[in-house]
Structure 1
Amino acid sequence: MCGIAGIIYLGQGGREPSGDHPNRGQEGPLGHDMARMLHAMRHRGPDSTGYALYGPPSELIVMRFKLADPTDKRDFDFSERLERNRREVEARLAKLGATIDRVEGESEYAYRATFRYTGELKPLADFVEDVPGAEVLSLGHSLEIVKDLGDARTVAEQYRLESFRGTHAIGHVRMATESDVDIAGAHPYWAYPFSDVAVVHNGQLTNYHQWRRRLERLGHRFQSECDSEIIAVYIAQRMADGDSLETAMKQSLDELDGVFTYLVVTENQLGVAKDEMAAKPLVLYEADDMVAMASEEVAIRAVVNREIDTYDPYEREVRVWSR
């Protein structure tokens, strides 16, 4: 029942929130638009909401991480423990040679760190995640994953996403059916430890355990039991081995079994793939300045306030848009 959405501003695709203004620049009102799209589908998943947003590329590494879940606030030493662990995260970054620009508290338990770092991301992410309660949500030069409990508007207000400007994004509204209501089970998923790759997905992989074991034998670790994370790491690994995003996605249709529609984003691309039965819904809208897609058309109409034509991608269809 979960809902997924994606948007990419093409070329000079900056756009004012009303949708009727001409192109104004490289970035658009990304946080505003994604929040409206996801909130329009809140009936599909009120338990948690997640955003994978791409801002202007930076020389700095951006790391979104959390040190607890909202339910942990009942613990008597919650604030003291988080402050102690935040200082430990900073110390570990410095120990690996990162030059910290700033570490900002985004909520009581979630943080945004920016720093200079030229080493490999996996040792850094592993070292940070060894801090008690720590989970790295995203790492990259432009990707920022924000996810928390509650509907899209609640999460957008909590993390002040309305002012976030960027180029492309995906998002997810979740109804917990087979796992707990917590941040660890919320989408999107970063392709740990690959920079700037994330996935949202609606459906189920039936060969999840097979692919998890295969990827673990390649040295990958996983933050959750969610099959969406398998898709993210699978795609990123194939791209690291030399495939284009489109080639990796087409190969996934032969190797990943199940019923699914997924959206994947990289630093400058957004792609969508549907399995051979195309049972999971997705509606697509294309224009000269933007492409938007979602599980329901109502989400697209939340950001395009004019008459539009949409279509449903067909079986085994893979589409990729680049900036």
Structure 2
Amino acid sequence: MCGIAGIIYTNGRGDVGRDMTNMLQAMKHRGPDSTGYALYGEPNDLLVMRFKLADPNDGSDFGYEERLNRSRREVEARLAKIGATIDRVEGESEYAYRATFRYDGELKPLADYVEDVPGAEVLSLGHSLEIIKDLGDAETVAEQYRLKEFTGTHAIGHVRMATESDVDIAGAHPYWAYPFSDVAVVHNGQLTNYHQWRRRLERTGHRFQSECDSEIIAVYLAQSMADGLPLEAAMKQSLEDLDGVFTYLVVTQDQLGMAKDEMAAKPLVLHEGDGVVALASEEGAIREVLNQEIDSYDPYEGEVMVWSR
């Protein structure tokens, strides 16, 4: 079933970690297995890389702690070797980390080099995007990663019910548009031409971290923007190219967008207020962050909408 949510403060910034947690927790019944956030702080000259070196299910493996320490040292060594100047590397949990550093090269060689470390997976990379996802409901994940302290400009989130894959971080959303900076997607539904588009994108040099069709949407949109299309135009083209029943939310460094396929079977409700736009699979999630009576509506079939901060 799953649930998706998004929020953007069009005139400034807000307690985006707290607000997204409240929205996602209100939809816990739609997906209790894992929860994920794509949060945007103010961009700066440092790159932020969120990565993991294991899965929470791996904790009973022999030599687990020693392997994590060895892999963390190797990640730091590889960042330095490829030309990054490390600011800091912080452990967010026993297996998830946040690194900040200066780096002027292309992101793909860096991310590929890091992911050659056994067990390493880059969850996000950019100047303002931070993807955090783990097992459990929103309150559990927010407490583990101290997300209610996160202030920023916009965000999307996802609560997942595992139906076709394992309950693990690799299957959790959102998905970063590897290797494009600061682009992420959450999505509710299914692409019926997933394999066709995966093969097409792989032939152009892309590679994917998962079997999830949300990742295809993220890379498709990021590549279209890299080819010169504005976000809104790329999203409208996606409705022509991607088949299936779906609603998705996409975020870039300064925009939040939503799109519904021509059947509009997957729910999404939105509210546009003074200085804030909030979207979610259920209206109750929006009401968790707005302390007044609200007007909301369902976008139409085949509709694309984009908001900028």
CA-to-partner distance for each residue in 1:206-243, whole Å, 9 max, x for gaps?
00000000000110000000000000000000000000
TM-score by length of 2: 1.00
Correspondence for 1:231 among 217, 221, 230: 217
Map Cα deviations across residues 185-210 of structure 1 (whole Å, 9 max, x no partner): 00000000000000000000000000
CA distance in structure 2 between the aligned counterparts of 1:95 and 1:9, rounded to whole angstroms: 39
Cα offset, 1:305, TM superposition: 1.8
Match of 1:192 in 2: 178
Matches within 5 A, 1:95-134: 95-134=81-120
Cα deviation per residue 1:114-154 (whole Å; 9 max; x = unaligned)? 00000000000000000000000000000000000000000
Once residues 83 and 91 of structure 2 are traced to their aligned partners in structure 1, the CA distance between those partners, rounded to angstroms, is 22
Q: Deviations over 1:92-125 (max 9, x none)?
A: 0001000000000000000000000000000000
Take 1:267 and 1:48, find their aligned partners in 2: how far apart are those partners? 25
Root-mean-square deviation (CA, aligned residues, Å) is 0.4
Distance in 2, matches of 1:304 and 1:321, equals: 18
The separation in 1 between residues aligned to 2:253 and 2:277, in whole angstroms, is: 16
Q: Secondary structure at the match of 1:316?
A: coil
**CA apart distance, 1:58:** 1.2
Question: Do structure 1's residue 283 and structure 2's residue 269 form an aligned pair?
Answer: yes
Three-state SS of the structure 2 residue aligned to 1:184 is coil
For residues 102 and 294 of structure 2, the distance between their equivalents in structure 1, rounded to whole angstroms, comes to 44
Could you say which residue in structure 1 is the equivalent of 2:5? 5
Alignment of 1:126-165 (within 5 A): 126-165=112-151
Q: Distance in 2 between matches of 1:74 and 1:55?
A: 35
> What runs of 5+ residues in structure 2 fail to find an aligned partner?
none
Question: Is 2:21 aligned against 1:35?
Answer: yes
AA at the equivalent of 2:7: I
Which residue in the other structure is 1:78 paired with?
64
Aligned amino acid, residue 19 of structure 2: D
Q: Could you tell me how far apart the structure 1 residues matched to 2:124 and 2:57 are?
A: 22
**Which position in structure 2 is the counterpart of 1:23?**
none
SS in 2 for 1:51: strand
Q: Give the superposition deviation at 1:27.
A: 1.8
Deviation at 1:2, TM superposition (A): 0.3
User: Identity of counterpart residues, as a percentage?
Assistant: 83
Cα distance in structure 1, aligned partners of 2:62 and 2:204: 41
**Residue segments in structure 1 that go unaligned for 5+ positions in a row:** 12-25
Tell me, in whole angstroms, the C-alpha distance in 2 between the residues paired with 1:74 and 1:264: 36
Specify the alignment match of 1:317 in structure 2: 303
Aligned amino acid, residue 47 of structure 1: D
Question: d(CA) in 2 for partners of 1:111 and 1:27?
Answer: 25
CA separation in 2, counterparts of 1:254 and 1:197? 21
Matched, 1:49 2:35: yes
In 2, Cα distance between equivalents of 1:42 and 1:181? 15
Letter aligned with residue 55 of structure 1: G
1:211 equivalent to 2:211? Answer no
| 1:161 maps to amino acid | L
Q: Find the aligned partners of 2:196 and 2:274 in 1 and give their Cα distance.
A: 41
2:288 is aligned to 302
Task: Name the aligned partner's letter for residue 141 of structure 1.
Answer: H
How many Å separate the matches in 2 of 1:27 and 1:60?
A: 19
| CA–CA distance in structure 2, aligned partners of residues 288 and 119 of structure 1 | 40
Partner Cα separation in structure 1 for residue 18 and residue 270 of structure 2: 19
Aligned residue for 2:234?
Answer: 248
The 3-state SS of whatever aligns with 2:59 is: helix
- Whole-Å separation in 1 of the counterparts to 2:291 and 2:189: 29
**Paired residue for 1:259, among 245, 260, 275?**
245
Task: Using the TM superposition, give the Cα deviation of residue 306 of structure 1 relative to its aligned residue in structure 2, in angstroms.
Answer: 1.1
Task: Give the superposition deviation at 1:76.
Answer: 2.3
**d(CA) in 1 for partners of 2:56 and 2:184?**
23
**Aligned residue number for residue 19 of structure 1:** none
Q: Matched residue pairs, number?
A: 309
AA in 1 matched with 2:260: K
The one-letter code sitting in structure 1 at the alignment partner of 2:227 is D
